[in-house]
Chains A and B, each alone.
Chain A
């Protein structure tokens, strides 16, 4: 026969402080939810190809900067382009837009850095940029190191 040894309970009801505590937590959660209703989720880690296995590029850093700069707003969450903006996969082989071919020929190693920064007079004309922000300037103010991190990552996208 098995010995049953039940555990006694001191009080059956719910203490009032527990109800107030629960109400407090729900209110705090409600306020937080109300202030975070609109926005867009970033892509799940792993949807964009990880560059960790390709030449030691820090994909985590690149994805953080890409998310902060808002690149996916125009080029799509997977950076494969939208109706108005080009696909960035395979951009390491050369520019997709015709207006950048000349720059890529003149500056084969750094044309992407120059284009993303947008401060060089060869690429700073808004008509030439066709809506692409100058990320080296205000308000984004990406540093050269940050742009280099993005470029190294973009070169790994096939």
Chain B
């Protein structure tokens, strides 16, 4: 009675902590625990994958609508309205949505996942803990604010810049460059002491990170208001920028991750370090040359562009070297491919990598590039690299790394199989649909077919691509759900689960324990 009266007087009494329980640790505003950066970057990446595939579906829809309803949309779908106060114009067209799709996919999904993979693999290869998970998580905040701003700017006429991945003004790209500077600082601080004799993955990660930082910095500088460039120069720089990002960052980080995951998942040693270094050399030399191939303009000497096209074709050699080295590494462990585990994802990634290198080589042929310009081919071919090779490489890394990062006992689930069997056919259908639609469009243009006839034909290919992107979106959702389930419902594990091998493996190649900070 007295207690109740006291409660009435003082409000609810605070529940006291029993004397034999330790005080709960206060959560920090920015997490800084070991592996927290890898986990958070992966989580945000998964959200971007769902957003990107959703935008991709919208883009395909905007391409299909004018053909299905020609009377309603004779000049294509265009929704625009003024934004009060700032006097900007919001414009939703097939072009602006395509730009948004690429931004969300490459900078949102692939880059977040790549940096997560780097945070996961690097400490385990060097033995040095990440210099600061807190800084890495602050970079996550800055990077994603920049990408969200870039995505929004793609739909604002006054802010959008020309170029597939550069639709942002300097202050947005500047924030992105700052985030990448932090990421580079954290990475190199841990890697520099053990750079001598570093494993090949670290070379790919490091060079990729430096390139993307340099490109973002240059891009931000070029967009400063007092720097004036004519339209041709901007278009040429934009084309070279996209190529360099795809070769050095998207491909580099992806190959680095595959070189990490395949030996780990099989328990086999890497087949050849000499072959790996030959691949790095080819990638470094041919990547620069490949960017020259995008400078297709009368102001650039023809021979320079031809040499660039040849470099793009020769990048097939880099793909061959990487694929051969990793397939020979898997040798003897093929039975591991029967499930939907990290090795299966890695092998699918390698298959897409080979196909995208071949399609790029075909697209770089002199007669072909003119035929396919401004058709669906370039994006379809790019989809094989970013949506196929890139996505599956990061699926493989996530599958291998997330149980160790989150310290959960997660031995696969039907969601992994759903992810494999929706994303694999999805990206294949979407890429092939866009590429063959591009071929049909280019051929019909040369034959001077009417725009209506071209639309009527291309719409079927776009329909196939739409189905494909829909399937890929389901795969993205499955990934997000699986990540959530690992975190919430998988039992905690003091040590990460051993790699999924059925035979004894060399102890030094496997990755039995997560990095534990002290």
Which residues in A have some Cβ–Cβ distance to B below 8 Å?
A: 1-15, 18, 21-22, 25-26, 28-30, 32-33, 36-47, 52-53, 55-56, 58, 60-61, 64-65, 67-68, 77, 142-143, 145-146, 149
Contact = CB atoms under 8 A, between A and B. Distances in A.
Nearest to B450: A145
Contact of A2 (B129, B275, B324, B509): B129
20 contacts: A3-B127, A4-B126, A5-B125, A5-B513, A8-B508, A10-B268, A10-B272, A15-B274, A18-B321, A25-B316, A38-B302, A38-B303, A39-B306, A43-B298, A46-B231, A52-B76, A53-B75, A55-B75, A60-B445, A68-B446
A40 B304 CA distance: 11
A2 B515 contact: yes
Nearest to A26: B314
B454 A33 contact: no
A58 B448 CA distance: 10
- Which of A5, A37, A39, A143 has the most B CB atoms < 10 Å from its CB? A5
B313 interface: yes
Which label, helix, strand, loop or mixed, suits the secondary structure of the A interface? loop
B278 interface: yes
A1 B298 CA distance: 59
Nearest to B317: A25
A145 B445 CA distance: 11
Nearest to A6: B508
Nearest to B275: A18
A40 B235 contact: no
A38 B401 CA distance: 51
Given A10-B272, A42-B370, A5 B124 contact: yes
A7 to B, nearest CB: 5
B162 interface: yes
Contacts of A146: 448
Q: Which 8 A-B pairs have the closest CB atoms?
A: A4-B127, A14-B274, A8-B269, A146-B448, A61-B445, A25-B317, A58-B451, A29-B310
Given A2-B127, A56-B74, A58-B451, A9 B446 contact: no
Contacts of B448: 61, 65, 142-143, 145-146, 149
Nearest to B123: A2
Interface in B272-290: 272-275, 277-278, 282
Which label, helix, strand, loop or mixed, suits the secondary structure of the B interface? helix
Contacts of A14: 272, 274-275, 277-278
B300 interface: yes
B75 A11 contact: no
Contact of A64 (B123, B236, B307, B445): B445
B298 A61 contact: no
Contact of A47 (B235, B302, B320): B235
B264 A7 contact: yes
A55 B273 CA distance: 59
Contacts of A21: 317, 320-321
A68 B442 CA distance: 12
B199 interface: yes
B261 to A, nearest CB: 10
A90 to B, nearest CB: 19
Contacts of B446: 64-65, 68
A7 B263 contact: yes
Contacts of B210: none
B397 interface: no
A29 B361 CA distance: 11
Nearest to A145: B448
Contacts of B146: none
Given A3-B516, A52-B76, A42 B509 contact: no
Contacts of B296: 41-42, 44
Interface string B7-39: 000000000000000000000000000100000
Interface string B438-472: 00011011101111001000000000000000000
A29 B313 contact: yes
A44 B239 contact: yes
B225 interface: no
A142 B451 CA distance: 17
B511 A5 contact: yes
Interface in B351-401: 366, 370-371, 373-375
Contact of B269 (A2, A7, A33, A41): A7
Given A22-B317, A149-B448, A40 B513 contact: no
- Which of B128, B275, B310 has the most A CB atoms < 10 Å from its CB? B310
